Structure 1
Amino acid sequence: MSEASQPAAAGRLEYEEVKEYSFLEELLVSKRVNLTYIIMLVCCTISIALALFHLFIALYGTPEGRSFRSVHLSVMLVLAILVNPLFRSSHKDPILQSGDPRNLLRTAGFGIDMVLVALVIAVQVWTLWDIDAFQMRLGSKDPTDMMFGGILIALVLEATRRAVGIAMVCVTGFFIVHTLYSHYFFGIFYGPPTRFAKYIDVMFVSSNGIFGIPLHVAATYIVLFIVFGGVLIRSGAGRFFIDLAVALTGHRIGGPAKAATLSSAFMGTVSGSAVANVVTTGSFTIPLMKKTGYRGKFAAAVEACASSGGQITPPIMGAAAFIIAENLQVSYFTVIIAAAIPAFLYFVTVYFMVHLEAEKHGIESIPAERLPQVMEVLKGGWHLLLSLVILIAFLMMGYTPMKSAFWGILSLIALSFFHPGTRMSPVDILAAFETGVRSTVAVTVACACAGIIIGSIFASGFGLKFTQSVIDMSGGNLPLLLTMTAVASILLGMGMTTTAVYITVAALIVPSLEQIGVNIIAAHMFAFYFGVVSTITPPVALAAFAGAAIARTPPMATAFEATKVGIAKYLVPFAFIYNPSLLIEGPIWMTVVSTALVLIGLWVLSLGLEGWCRGRLGPAPRAVLLLSALFLMVPITAAPFGIPGAVIVAAGLIASGGIYFWRRSVPVGQPAQ
């Protein structure tokens, strides 16, 4: 996390970098051995052990799949319980303190936590005691299997409530109740109920429920990539990214906001968590933006939009890229290549909005003497970027994501020794492993919970009925179906993690798009985009709310501002549905032409939304620009309403170009006050 501070004596822009909180480092300086110390020691030990276990697995190959996933999930459940204790705000709150009326409640909470940990261990022992015999009981379980299966479902839901939030628990709970009691529902939800024995078969014994694809991906790919991100940040990459962004953009008009956009894009490549990015880079960039003249809610909105871009930015994409690849049965590299252009278009649009806002309000650049020099910044951290190059190179050479992440982590540790400022001590390395694994807890329990949703849909057959119902309601009309899909994805995504959002919408939403002939990669990317856009969409815009807290602006007003700044996240998915060349599908020339036209369209859209083009624009020019922007996003090979796409695009170019060059011939208007 970074905090804006007063300029140093030399006038340089300074801020303090705070590394992610590590249990290991606190244990090493602690002078008291108490219950909190013991809990931290247990969490730290099993986190580091799990990281080393996954590195070993990445190098030598995974063991039997069910056992491997079960071990991973059990450790994550224990961490979720211990790090998020019952009736206490954190594990550091004292449990026993004389005279405190909360003693009884906290003590009871600790006792319940220990019971839950014991249950996790009991389920794990029962499962692995004779794994072959356990799996052979598929379809003919004994009462103990039923009991432990029910306990595991309850444990996953409780861990999800603690680590992710109540929203996902409610969604999952609905699907559980619907599957078991669907004969009490009505409309498209009505159906035959599922026997509890069959439900436990699907959830606990088979690989269609808790231990399905989502958990498989979390245990094999996601954990190592998040550990890689943890090592990268621990090596000093966070400060390097911000310094580089400020050095590259600070001297331009509205430099602080452009630096926020660029630094959050850099951070998003390794983090993918919108809220984490906001509080990391935003604590430096938001105050700086406000200080240089940006409105508070605009500053918070820019940071929220830039930070949420990490969810759609390769190579991690909020950890969902691996699950998308698994669902599509394509290589991980294919997914990140397809995601590259839409992510670029999104960040460029945020950049456009920032530039126009700066012109509109007369916001100047940061004085050159206060900026770090690009070459100085690169000299101190260029070697860290080599680890990303190595990671991507291994993926391009056909190595598995696990092995690529393994060599990426090893190369990053080795490269950190190239410069004294980034050199990592053994404590730094182990702390990065620990924080990386703890960061994976929310993702893993969300994936296990999403597995319950998928298994419930599979057991009840609701997925097929929902798909057909959506198609029937839309009458097969693609624009209407896309709009319904977008709204449903946003609603399902509210308050949920990136991976959980994608898994849920992929099961419910994507089949309806595929059934009417939408390109399969485009269908998955469309649902994914609208699932994660909820982080900036009211009423549950978590990234915007985090930015508002830093900027001290009204949360809902900030969220609405974020929807304007991040408009590309709403439009680009429609563009690549009708024009898959934006996902690098088809001829390269078509991809180049389409990208250029959509880019121009997004610039024109930004002019219309901001109402500024070298001066204020009236309602009529703004309306023309907004309509022209939509025209420019029409594929040139299409023919909507029987009109050739090339004609529509040409009309958009002529109309928007006319207004732009008209404004170029007029003296620049006075900045808006």
Structure 2
Amino acid sequence: MSSMSSTEVLLGHPSAPAVDRAFHWLVAVVCTFYVFIHLYLGFYGSPDSQLLNALHVNSALAIVFMTRPAVARGNAIYVPLRFVDALAVLGCLWCAAYFLIEIDSWSMRTLVFRPIDYFTSILFVVLILEACRRAVGLVLVVICVVLMLYAMNSDHFGGMFYGAPVTPTRLLQTVFLGSAGIFGVAVSVMTQYVVLFILFGVLLNAVGGGRFFTRMAFALFGHRRGGPAKAAVVSSAMLGTISGSAIGNVVTTGIFTIPLMIRLGYRRAFAGGVESAASNAGMISPPIMGAVAFIMADIMGVSYLSIIAAAAIPAALYYAVMFVTVDLEARRLGLAPLPRTKIPPAWPMLKREGYFLLPLVVICVALTMGMSVIVVAVLTIVTTVVIGVLRRNDRLDPVRMMQAVEETARSTAGLSATAAAAGIMLGAIFAVGLSYQVAQEAARMADGHLWALVVLCAIMAIIMGMGMSAAAVYLTLAATVIPIMQLAGIPQMAAHFYAFYFGIASNITPPVALTAYAAAPIARSSPVETGLFAAKLGMANLLLPFIFIYHPAILLEGTPVEIITVSITSLLALCGFAVATTGYLFRNLTVAERLATAAVSALMFLPEPLTDVAGILLTLAGVLYLRRTAGRDPVIARKTPVRSETAGPEGWLARWARKRMEKEDAAAVDAIPARVDEDSLLEGLFTDPEEDTRLRPDTRIAAAATWIVTFATAGIFQYAGSVYLHARNPELWTALMLVASVVFVSGLMIAMRTLGGAPAAQAQRQS
């Protein structure tokens, strides 16, 4: 039962042992509390920001320790280490109580640091680092520890790393109390925006939104040449608007797209590479961008709307180039499309389920009207809940809401721990002014050569991004690489987007390539080969950043004419590189033709109007030439798919990547069947899945009771908000949010277990 959610154990499996039920009840209550304090913020406003941030981090840490054990169940030391996990949860409780008690004298701790402050701050840092290790691995933890040791011993280093060291007390105060430390921008943004938007994405997926996007992608492009590959690109683009998880996109859409690509005739590694590269773009796709959009807006001091507007054109170009690449590959291989008769038409589906697009419309309209991001998040959540409740089939009920709440908390807790760890890193950097020193030295080494500086920054960003989440790598780069670029005179928007794009490139570039390691088991291909194809298909991720530097108009930093011009030339240039790497346009290209295509495409990257005009004219001439000579090299159709049976990955790097994926709840990819049937895949995609009756109220009394519990919980919210309890008495407000969480979880459990809620419960009573 360890693989089940706490909601499933409590409401769908009443025969579980009492100890298990008690543990999962506690997990469900903490997860609910974690989400409720953010929901309250969206509807009624925030209590003291420092208190809210403290509650956010401590509840996230507790969730990590409860849901991500140090070792797997069944290990000989599982039980002793779970005792350590229990102590860690108690430590989170102590830290939360400390913040509640010290809320009125918080600012005094910078002057008087007592023994209890030393103990709590050290405990808090240790808990954050351990939770971060469990959530995302050792990389960020090692960086944090090294930087803290450096801050206290910077006078023992030479060159640009020499500086005045800080005392342990000063370091703890900076990390523990300062706005540049744990409770800095990353945690603040997580608290205010990210949790609400992730809840929106989880709810939309729970009511069928994610499945609708995948169906629409197949309905639009599945019957075209290379249809499954194009559907993978389009569905990842759609899902990217509500999810910033690259691995999440792989396992959501890849179970359909990858087997169908292989069935159609694509190489296994190529099919995995398509899904990997397409899913990685979820982190650059508005409006979430892997939670980076909100953090970026805060750090840059610009509006959130400005960030997602700037990200729109590059994201569209990325997907457009991928679309062209898979089309060229399909034409080169002579792949036949999927039969149109097996794929329902798009228009009837859009008329029947087009309401799933309404939340995205609400986001666009609300942002255009100038509403705050928090209000936009609340509106989209309310819209999604209304859609779910009004659906005729598979309606959203309180039990599924509880599932969504728990899923949101579990998926966000690790990110919150990462944000807190990034705050430790940033606090150590700013304590000794390291970012300014490194920026000065890098600018001196480049000696005025901009190209050398940006190449150096790209290498640094790729290395720092290995194995880290999007938010963590961006925060790391914001303290290291981005100041270097801004000191060299690169515009702020261009510097931030440049570093971020290269920071996430490690997801599709070997040797790390986490998305490739996620797609490889589905494709049954080599992870390294899959990663190489992902890097080839996602080359826009490596080329677009240079356009940001030399053509900042692509980020809407220019006149309308400049924006249109750079968008067109960039698209042509990137498509030219796609032709060069694929080796096909109307016919197979010779090596000389491929090199000439790459050279002509490079002309349009240069920031000169003359080179743009020359590149466009030469591109047109080349297209006409290849079109006229197309008949000289007929393509031989390949009807038999390549069946490369590659053994599973081995070696330390493969083992590390697999553990990393498991920590992101991506281990389910190993359960994908080795051979699949095209008809059954398509039937499964376009057929609504059967409802899990274990988590459905089985009587009208039970259903009514679940809604009564939900309205009672909403009444607690309304009372607290009506008397401004969060501002008048934060301690009582915290207790009331905990009571609301207990009422919601316990009330639903009682309704499902005693009022004929679940068939499993009825069967147990009858037996």
CA-CA distance at 1:418 after TM superposition: 4.1
Deviation at 1:276, TM superposition (A): 1.1
Is 1:164 aligned to 2:136, yes or no?
yes
**Is the CA contact 2:27–2:66 (under 8 Å) kept in the aligned structure 1?**
yes
Q: Which residue of 240, 243, 247 maps to 1:271?
A: 243
Please list, as runs of the form range in 1=range in 2, the aligned pairs for 1:499-578 lying within 5 A after superposition.
499-578=471-550
In the alignment, structure 1 residue 37 sits paired with structure 2 residue 21: yes
SS of corresponding position for 1:320: helix
Tell me how far apart the structure 2 counterparts of residues 373 and 23 of structure 1 sit (CA, whole Å).
39
For each residue in 1:524-568, what CA deviation from the matched residue of structure 2 results, as whole angstroms up to 9, or x when unmatched? 111111111111011111011111121111111211111110001
Q: Tell me what 1:74 maps to.
A: 58
- Which residue of structure 1 aligns with residue 233 of structure 2? 261
Is 1:246 matched with 2:241? no
How many residue pairs were aligned?
633
Aligned twin of 2:625? 662
Match of 1:389 in 2: 361
CA RMSD of aligned residues (A): 1.5
The SS at the match of 1:481 is helix
Q: Mean alpha-carbon deviation: is it higher for 587-596 or for 63-72?
A: 587-596
Do the aligned partners of 1:387 and 1:415 also contact (CA within 8 Å) in 2?
no
Q: Does 1:28 align with 2:11?
A: yes
Contact 1:624 1:656 in 2 (8 A): no
1:16 alignment counterpart? none
Alignment partner, residue 662 of structure 2: none
SS in 1 for 2:511: coil
Within a 5 Å distance, the mapping from 1:209-248 to structure 2 comes to: 209-248=181-220
Q: Distance in 2 between matches of 1:218 and 1:415?
A: 26
Residue 177 of structure 2 is aligned to residue 193 of structure 1: no
Structure 1: how far apart are the matches of 2:348 and 2:20?
Answer: 43
Alignment-mate amino acid for residue 221 of structure 2:
T
The structure whose RCO (Cα within 8 Å, separation 6+) is larger is 2
Q: 1:601 aligns with which of 553, 556, 573?
A: 573
Q: 2:291 aligns with which of 319, 335, 359?
A: 319
State which drifts further: 599-608 or 445-454: 599-608
Letter of the 1:318 partner, please give it. G
Alignment of 1:409-488 (within 5 A): 409-421=381-393, 423-488=395-460
Gapped regions of structure 2 (runs ≥ 5): 639-767
Per the TM alignment, residue 395 of structure 1 is displaced from its structure 2 partner at its CA by: 2.1
Instruction: State the 1:450 CA deviation.
Output: 0.6
The CA distance in 2 between the partners of 1:256 and 1:603, in whole Å, is 20
Residue-by-residue CA offset, 1:43-62 (whole Å, 9 max, x unaligned): 21221232222111111111
The Cα shift of 1:607 comes to 0.8
Within 5 A, what are the aligned runs for 1:360-379?
Answer: 360-379=332-351
Structure 1 regions of 5+ residues with no counterpart? Answer: 1-19, 95-101, 636-644
- Taking the aligned partners of 1:667 and 1:490, their CA distance within structure 2 comes to 40
Q: Distance in 2 between matches of 1:258 and 1:29?
A: 39
Q: Hey, what's the Cα distance between the residues in 2 that align with 1:326 and 1:442?
A: 21
Deviates more, 1:254-263 or 1:530-539: 530-539
Select between 224-233 and 647-656 the one with higher mean Cα deviation.
647-656
Q: Structure 1 residue 229: deviation in Å? A: 0.5
Instruction: For residues 222-253 of structure 1, give each alpha carbon's deviation from its aligned partner in whole angstroms, at most 9, with x where no partner exists.
Output: 11111110001101112101100000101211
- Pairwise CA distance, 1:478: 0.9
1:59 aligns with 2:56: no
SS of the aligned residue for 2:387 comes to helix
1:440 offset after TM fit, Å? 0.6
Is the 8 Å Cα contact of residues 383 and 418 (structure 1) preserved in structure 2?
A: no
Query: In the superposition, relative to structure 1, how do residues 246 and 21 fare at CA in structure 2: closer, same or farther (>3 Å)?
Result: farther
Amino acid at match of 2:530: T
Partner of 2:274: 302
The alpha-carbon deviation at position 320 of structure 1 amounts to: 0.4
CA distance in 2, matches of 1:347, 1:126: 48
Range that drifts further, 566-575 or 34-43: 34-43
Structure 1 position 377, deviation (Å): 2.0
Distance in 1 (CA, whole Å) between partners of 2:351 and 2:145 is 52
Range moving further from structure 2, 500-509 or 33-42: 33-42
Deviations 1:109-129 (A, max 9, x none): 011111111111112212221
Q: Report the Cα offset of residue 436 of structure 1.
A: 1.2
TM-score by length of 1: 0.92
- Would the aligned equivalents of 2:34 and 2:60 in 1 still touch at CA under 8 Å? no
Taking the aligned partners of 2:328 and 2:572, their CA distance within structure 1 comes to: 15
Q: 1:299-339: per-residue Cα shift (whole Å, max 9, x none)?
A: 01110010000000000001100000001111101100000
Deviation of 1:21 (Å)? 6.3
Q: Is residue 2:308 matched to residue 1:333?
A: no
Report if aligned partners of 1:380, 1:421 keep a CA contact under 8 Å in 2: no
The 1-side partners of 2:501 and 2:619 are apart by 28
Distance in 1 (CA, whole Å) between partners of 2:345 and 2:324 is 24
In structure 2, the residue matched to 1:14 is none
Is 1:128 equivalent to 2:91 in the alignment? no
Distance 2:257 2:393 in 1: 23
Matching residue's letter, 2:270: F
Deviation at 1:672, TM superposition (A): 7.1
The answer to whether the aligner puts 1:629 opposite 2:612 as a matched pair is no
Q: Does 1:584 align with 2:556?
A: yes
Partner Cα distance (1:47, 1:391) in 2: 26
- 1:638 alignment partner in structure 2: none
Partner of 1:646: 609
- Farther-moved stretch of structure 1 (413-422 vs 275-284): 413-422
The corresponding residue for 2:69 is 85
Structure 1 stretch 429-438 or stretch 411-420: which is displaced more? 411-420
CA distance in 1, matches of 2:335, 2:441: 51
- Take 2:471 and 2:266, find their aligned partners in 1: how far apart are those partners? 33
| Equivalent residue number for residue 15 of structure 1 | none
Report the Cα distance in structure 1 between the residues aligned to 2:390 and 2:494, rounded to whole angstroms.
Answer: 42
Q: Distance in 2 between matches of 1:253 and 1:632?
A: 29
Q: Specify the SS of the correspondent of 2:621.
A: helix
1:671 is the counterpart of 2:655? no
469-478 or 332-341: bigger deviation: 469-478
SS at match of 2:208: helix
| Counterpart residue type for residue 292 of structure 2 | A
| 8 Å contact kept, 2:569–2:616 | no
On the 8 A contact 1:333/1:395 being kept in 2, the answer is: yes
The CA distance in 1 between the partners of 2:630 and 2:553, in whole Å, is 39
CA contact (8 A) 1:159 1:445 kept: yes
Contact 1:215 1:448 in 2 (8 A): yes
In 2: Cα distance, 1:356 partner to 1:480 partner? 34
